Structure 1
Amino acid sequence: MKIEVVSFTGDSGLADYSVSLARALSVHHTTTVVTAKSLPKRFDALGFTVERIFRRSRHYPIDLIRFIFGVIKRKPNWIILQGPLKLALIDAIVIRLIQIFGIHCAITVHDVLPHYPKLWSKFTFGFYYRSF
């Protein structure tokens, strides 16, 4: 089974969670961490593949397209996201698109809503969580 663990950031606590999860999964499955270019190179030799796709937030639209086509090309059985990549509403649409290709998606929820929610956060995050 092929599993991809996805985190938009490469140098945060979520990236650390991604690496830890990938290490545990790689004992039994072919595992890839899909993350930012900022993930330190020392993680490349821990028993899983690393795909550095994401850059700074201003590149999110371009990197998101690269992510979608990369997932379709690699055809993992499962994608496990470490929360929304950047924008919950857009990310939900991307997840629903990926699922059309028969790829299962799961999420590890760290914060149910943003630390400073907006009026529309319950709607957008509700739509996002219902995508899984």
Structure 2
Amino acid sequence: MSMQVRVDFNPHDAVPEVLCLIVPAPTGVVYENRCGGRACLQNSLEGYLVVVGRATPFVDFFAKFDGRPPQRWSADDLDHLQRLIREKVVYFVAEIEFESRVLLSLDFDRLDDLTEAWIPVRAGDQAAVLVFANSA
């Protein structure tokens, strides 16, 4: 039996721009996030949710689309997004005696899923998704 959890990034909170990573795993917990700008999609993924930073750079990136992220991404936009992911997101995984940083990168094999507040990434060898507050 799985439990559905709606990730509630309220843009009116004192610190609304929380950036999280949903890492797929058979946890029985399915995280749902409103995404897609004005399309107000409801994407979901089973796994665990990890806070990985502030979403400010990503919110600023998507603001230029005014709530209408493109269906086809330009090479410049993908390059910019890739740089943001690599430079602004910090994800650590606990090992037996220490923590190791896992580098994230845009998942170019899942660009059809890419939209505001739902960014498919690779966390090492594993597929994951960055989520934050949708603009609409």
Tell me the TM-score normalised to structure 2 length: 0.31
In terms of fraction of residues, the more strand-rich structure is 2
RCO higher in structure (CA 8 A, sep ≥6): 2
In terms of fraction of residues, the more helix-rich structure is 1
